[in-house]
Every structure is written in C-alpha cells, then in structure tokens.
Amino acid sequence: MPSRVAAAPKQAESFYQSREWRVLCAEIKRERGKACERCGSTDRVIADHIIERKDGGADLDKRNVELLCHRHHAEKTAAARAARAKGV
Ligand SMILES: [Zn+2]
C-alpha cells in the first residue's frame, strides 16, 4: 500500500462521516429547506461550517452551519483557504 496516500486529514474525514454530523445536517435541511442560504439554489446543496472546524468553529452548533449550493460552497472554501494562507 502506498503510504503517502494516507497523509490526508483523517480527523476531518471521520467527523464529516460521523452520525452526529449527518443527523445535524438532515435536521437543518428539514428545518430550513434544502436550498442554498445565499442564493436559494438547490444545486447539490450541502451543509457547511460558517467558521471551519480547523479555524476554531463549533462542530455541532447549528448557528455555525449554513446550507450552500455547489457554487457557493466552492467560493467559500476558496476564500477561507486564501484567508488562512494570508494569516488573516
Ligand atoms: Zn448559492
């Protein structure tokens, strides 16, 4: 087995596969409706942390979770990564 493949962030993966997170996502989608909270799109909507876990955001607090369409999730992820790289 190639060992370098295992260098991926294991912890983050297991969190997003956890029962607690899935249950929370299902609840939020049921409560808010399965649509992007920024534009209302229903394109591949996923629940996402507003403040990412690695930036100290709360894991299972609904107030730290928003529903984003595919496009807004991609934008948000890129912006968070850029901000982190700059150390802001
Ligand atoms: Zn959107």
What pLDDT is stored for residue 86 in this prediction?
Answer: 87
Q: What is the whole-number distance in angstroms between the Cα of residue 35 and the centre of ligand 1?
A: 8
CA atoms within 13 A on the CB side of 79: 8
Q: What is the whole-number distance in angstroms between the Cα of residue 18 and the centre of ligand 1?
A: 25
The pLDDT confidence band at residue 8, using thresholds 50, 70 and 90, is low
For the segment 26-67, what is each residue's pLDDT rounded down to a tens digit?
999 999 999 999 999 999 999 999 998 888 999 999 999 999
Domain residues of the chain, as ranges? 34-88
Q: What is the whole-number distance in angstroms between the Cα of residue 73 and the centre of ligand 1?
A: 7
This model's pTM is above 0.85? no
Report d(CA 45, CA 66) in Å as an integer: 10
